[in-house]
Structure 1
Amino acid sequence: MEPGIDSPRNDGGGAVGGDGVERGDEDARALSLRWSARVSLTPRILFVNVFALALLAGGFFYLDSYRSRIVDGRVAQSIREARLIAEALVSVPEDRRADLALRLARDMGARVRVFDETGKPVIDTRRLGLRNVVLQDPDKQDWRQAAARFLDAGIDTVVGTPRAPLYREHYEGRDWPDIRTARDTPTVAATVWRAPDRTPIITAASPLPIRGPGAGVVMTTINAREITQTVRLERYRLGVVLLVVSIASVLLSLFLARTIVQPLRKLARAAVRVRVGRAREVVVPRLPERRDEIGMLARALSDMSLALRARIDAIEAFAADVTHEMKNPLASLRSAVEGMTTVKDPTLQARLLAIVRDDVQRLDRLITDIAEASRLDAQLSRTKFEPVDLGAMIAALIASREARGVERGVRLQFDRRTDLPLIVPGEGARLERVLENLIENAVSFSPDGGLILLSATCDHDVVVVAIEDQGPGVPEAAREQVFRRFQSLRPAGEAFGKHSGLGLAIARTIVEAHQGSIVATARADGAAGARFVIRMPMENAR
């Protein structure tokens, strides 16, 4: 019988279309990152997380709008207070206005001044001894206040906040824009100033609600230092949160990059060693402790390298076997040709010519089988499988064989259940080649008048085909060996060189490409003979 060697198989169920290169290009374009194709994964991960932190840092700019709303509220409050003070002052005799202004200024935390119709100051709570509005000298403050002012200025510049005018003290009322507005138009006017320490100062002026002599303007001044303190406190809290989150984000980014980048680099180095081929046994790390996509990739690459190594070993062994098998007929052919030049006897020359003819036929048969075996895997990987009825195929093969005549009176019998579907996915011509080879082997090993029994059944989702003969059988030690390439156990009396020793090897290659298996066993009934069993998945179990 003819043996073969086991080798890795591709999935015969899928087909590679003629546009495989174009689809590969489309996949490459779909997975490409134009803007970051040359950037390592570590800075990419850091950039994504830092970008999210930058969005969080936008809270600093929100604080500017928060401060503006507080200032607007204090301006409105100052306008109301100026109007109320003006109405309160005109409701008391003129000699009691100074005491009332002092008491109101103390309660409101403001400096109150009253100017007459010519702009001369009449009442000033500071001159009355109340110094509740005192500007801070920035040169006498510590470094923390200086840093806070620098941060205020920087954020105001980035956000584009309008810069309030610097506050300057004036003695005459006509030098205050609020007083001029309140005197010229009977409305309350207010202005926001900037103190030397960058805290807001709010002035508000309201005309006294009287006509004729004695009409004047009252002005309030407050230093809303608490607004700046509130904004700076919130900014400090946000900065602490941002700092903690930034440190945690960077550390987590580095950890994530380490868990992703380092294994990928390790796998890439192993792949390069496999490609270079300098190390015969390159071990691709399988990363069994990882159950994520990188672990799947590592195990897939490891399996791929093992399969590649097995394929290379098989190719090398196949080349060595081909060389060995071709040496014998070539040596015989060379000896016969050399003998023909020296032998003069026509009978001997005819014998030598017959030897030459047999050796040439043997070489031709051997080269044909070798060529088919070498390209079988590639052809099967490109084949589109179709549903094949193994029962109908076996019946047709038996009918064709019997029509041609079976030598030595050997009989063929097919045992099958017609009510069971025997449909498998595959290529009909290749499966037919397997069955023909097994039938021919059974015929050649059967005795005169022997019976060859073929059966096809279903075992759950698997089609089982068995071929039994009544020949000498396959020794138990050789049941795996017969499937190796160039291993041949032929019947006694058969001429040497009639078979290449690749038939069963090709059969196993075809069956395994169909996700099936083929084995040689003893007959189930214990009688003499060989039994070959093929198991293939059914169409609905694919």
Structure 2
Amino acid sequence: MASATDTGKAERPKSGRGRRAKVRWLPGSKLGRLILALNLLGLAILVAGALVLNEYRQGLVNARIDSLSAQGELIADIINRAATVGEPQPQMDTGLATEIMQTFKSPETQRARLFDETGRLVADTDLVADKVEWKVLPPARARADDGVHLDLMPHKPKPTAADAQKALAAEVAQALKGQRWSGMRRGPDGDRVVSVSIPIRHVQAVLGVITLEASDVDEIIAGERAALIPFVLIAIGVTLASSILLNSLIAQPVNRLARAADSVRLSRARAISLPDLARRDDEIGGLTRSLEDMTHSLSERMDAIESFAADVAHEIRNPLTSMRSAVETLDLIKDPAARDRLLGILKNDVQRLDRLVTDISNASRLDAELSRDQPKMVDLGRLVGDIVGLYQATAKPGDVRVRLEIAPGVEPVRVLGREGPLGQIFRNLIDNARSFSPAGDEVTVALGRGHGRVLATVSDNGPGIPPENLETVFERFYTSRPKGAAFGGNSGLGLSIARQIAEAHGGSLQAQNRQDSDGRVLGAIFILSLPEPIL
């Protein structure tokens, strides 16, 4: 009964449709966090291992210093008590002090020295024990043909025995001032030693210095380095595993997406389908769903274009066939009245064809217009008022009038959309309602709000719409005119275009019949629902 357009087909469910990927910065990105975590994990393991071992080494050094200090304090105290002679000027009995130092013989990894008040070495446990210092000779250096020795391996110079002696002398000198010294220094062979120098005091007088040193520091450090090897191996393993994981989680899925996109391009497939990737709850899954939705939308668009082209060809073929028959018959008819009737048919077919081409052109440009224009705030009350005012200003005697009703307290009525296409909805609905209204009757346009939606209705007093055609009227090229209406006066695209624009704005367009309390049809009403913007 009403000129209609739109497919009227049930929309196929769209997998993942309506799910929007959230654009976030790196801390909110799952793959970004994964990449960052995996790259830092290996470094964290090395840092943690180094810190743990450093604390362990420092703890061992401190423990060794404490042990040497306790032992040195004990020896110094005993020497002070047992090996101090002379009054009122005390002196240290070096022989007895040496015997006391020998009594507290240190382990092989420790060395004890005794110095008098002048800093002269009195006793050394290594000398008393006849300890022989030895070390492995370095490998023989390469000799050139001309007899010149070539040292091809650059090396850092090691501290000399003189440097070690100076460091020991400085340590003893500080202890002779009454200050205990503890720390690490280099020995004559370049190895690090933990050393403690404790003054031997009698009241305020410093009678000598006892020096204890442990030479197993390098062995401790070597053990620490060996203990660090597992951390290094774990870090290498984590790095390799993270590289393989990132390759399987990112690189390979991206390659699959690229191959799927190439297959769409090369084999003219309609859509990408990778369900195993689409189920992933990360950026790759979101990208896959977006590509699937995009290609699915393109496929639906191509199907709609093919269907539209077929409908257009069918609708244009009818007037062309009629015109061809009329033209072929025109030369055979001699009766002027019959010729005039044929010319009238030709004129009507030309007008019908012109209307079809115009409406088809408008429908084909609709998608481009909707995608080109940016939505903005539209005062729907003003827009509809201008459209209704134009109909009222151009109305002739006997034409169907158009009246606007705006519910009290609802102005201003604003929606987010495109003013041109929204105006086309109301023009199509008003034209359709006027075509079904009796001459001199009235079409009512009403605006209101309800449940967060902007509601607009266009109602007429015509014969209404058969219940089975309430959706059919929105199919393309569907026309059902009342008796006496001029054939071909409508293309059947108006309502289809109106619904398409409404859905592009997130709204809906429905057709109903107005009925009285007895169930009699009073006319048709089209209800446009648009989302109300959140300000």
Q: Distance in 1 between matches of 2:305 and 2:272?
A: 18
8 Å CA contact retained: 1:518, 1:535: yes
Aligned letter for 1:439? I
Alignment of 1:330-479 (within 5 A): 330-339=320-329, 351-381=341-371, 382-390=373-381, 393-394=384-385, 397=388, 400-401=391-392, 403-405=394-396, 407=398, 410=400, 412=402, 414-421=404-411, 423-425=413-415, 426-448=417-439, 450=441, 452-479=443-470
Q: 1:322 to 1:513 in 2, by over 3 A?
A: same
Q: 1:379 to 1:106 in 2, by over 3 A?
A: closer
8 Å CA contact retained: 2:352, 2:488: yes
Q: 1:401 to 1:137 in 2, by over 3 A?
A: same
1:110 aligns to what SS in structure 2?
A: strand
Aligned letter for 1:532? I
- 2:529 corresponds to which residue? 536
Per-residue CA deviations over 1:370-428 (Å, capped at 9, x if unaligned) read 11111112212224433223377258516734751264x75655554232226132344
Aligned letter for 2:491? S
2:455 aligns to what SS in structure 1?
A: strand
Q: 1:236 to 1:136 in 2, by over 3 A?
A: farther
Aligned letter for 1:103? T
* Greater mean deviation of Cα atoms: 54-63 or 438-447: 54-63
- 1:484 corresponds to which residue? 475
Q: 1:495 to 1:111 in 2, by over 3 A?
A: same
Per-residue CA deviations over 1:103-138 (Å, capped at 9, x if unaligned) read 3654994255899x9x9x99664565x36x676877
- 1:527 corresponds to which residue? 520
Q: Does 1:102 align with 2:105?
A: no
Q: 1:184 to 1:238 in 2, by over 3 A?
A: closer
Per-residue CA deviations over 1:42-67 (Å, capped at 9, x if unaligned) read 98875454455555566499689959
8 Å CA contact retained: 1:424, 1:536: no
Q: Distance in 2 between matches of 1:183 and 1:281?
A: 86
Aligned letter for 1:320? A
8 Å CA contact retained: 2:115, 2:210: yes
1:494 aligns to what SS in structure 2?
A: coil
Q: Does 1:283 align with 2:283?
A: no
1:366 aligns to what SS in structure 2?
A: helix
Q: 1:406 to 1:229 in 2, by over 3 A?
A: farther
* Aligned equivalent of 2:296, options 292, 303, 306: 306
Alignment of 1:190-229 (within 5 A): 192-193=185-186, 200=193, 222-225=213-216, 227-229=217-219
The one of the two structures with greater contact order (alpha-carbon pairs below 8 A, sep at least 6) is 1
**1:518 Cα offset (Å):** 0.8
2:489 aligns to what SS in structure 1?
A: coil
2:521 aligns to what SS in structure 1?
A: coil
Per-residue CA deviations over 1:171-210 (Å, capped at 9, x if unaligned) read xxxx977899999999899995568896649799x9xxxx
Q: Distance in 1 between matches of 2:38 and 2:168?
A: 57
Aligned letter for 1:515? G
- 1:497 corresponds to which residue? 488
1:455 aligns to what SS in structure 2?
A: strand
* Aligned equivalent of 1:513, options 496, 501, 504: 504
- 2:143 corresponds to which residue? none
8 Å CA contact retained: 2:511, 2:527: no
Q: 1:245 to 1:474 in 2, by over 3 A?
A: same
2:275 aligns to what SS in structure 1?
A: coil
Alignment of 1:167-246 (within 5 A): 192-193=185-186, 200=193, 222-225=213-216, 227-241=217-231, 243-244=233-234
8 Å CA contact retained: 1:388, 1:427: no
Aligned letter for 1:285? P
2:409 aligns to what SS in structure 1?
A: coil
8 Å CA contact retained: 2:383, 2:423: no
Q: 1:318 to 1:105 in 2, by over 3 A?
A: same
- 2:5 corresponds to which residue? 4
Aligned letter for 1:99? E
Aligned letter for 1:434? I
Structure 2 spans left out of the alignment, 5+ residues: 10-24, 26-31, 86-90, 138-153, 200-207
**1:314 Cα offset (Å):** 0.7
Q: Distance in 2 between matches of 1:179 and 1:56?
A: 35
Q: Distance in 2 between matches of 1:179 and 1:503?
A: 105
Alignment of 1:127-142 (within 5 A): 128=128, 130=129
Q: Distance in 2 between matches of 1:186 and 1:53?
A: 43
* Greater mean deviation of Cα atoms: 189-198 or 324-333: 189-198
- More helix per residue: 1
Per-residue CA deviations over 1:195-241 (Å, capped at 9, x if unaligned) read 8896649799x9xxxxxxxxxx999785511x234434544555445
**1:504 Cα offset (Å):** 0.9
**1:247 Cα offset (Å):** 4.4
8 Å CA contact retained: 1:203, 1:221: yes
Q: 1:422 to 1:299 in 2, by over 3 A?
A: farther
* Greater mean deviation of Cα atoms: 299-308 or 83-92: 83-92
Per-residue CA deviations over 1:341-383 (Å, capped at 9, x if unaligned) read 6667666655554444433333322222111111112212224
Q: Distance in 2 between matches of 1:424 and 1:335?
A: 52
Q: Distance in 2 between matches of 1:335 and 1:393?
A: 44
Q: Distance in 2 between matches of 1:390 and 1:198?
A: 93
8 Å CA contact retained: 2:43, 2:235: no
Aligned letter for 1:479? L
8 Å CA contact retained: 1:464, 1:533: no
Q: 1:474 to 1:249 in 2, by over 3 A?
A: same
8 Å CA contact retained: 2:6, 2:493: no
Q: Distance in 2 between matches of 1:41 and 1:257?
A: 15
Q: 1:223 to 1:418 in 2, by over 3 A?
A: closer
- More strand per residue: 2
RMSD: 5.5
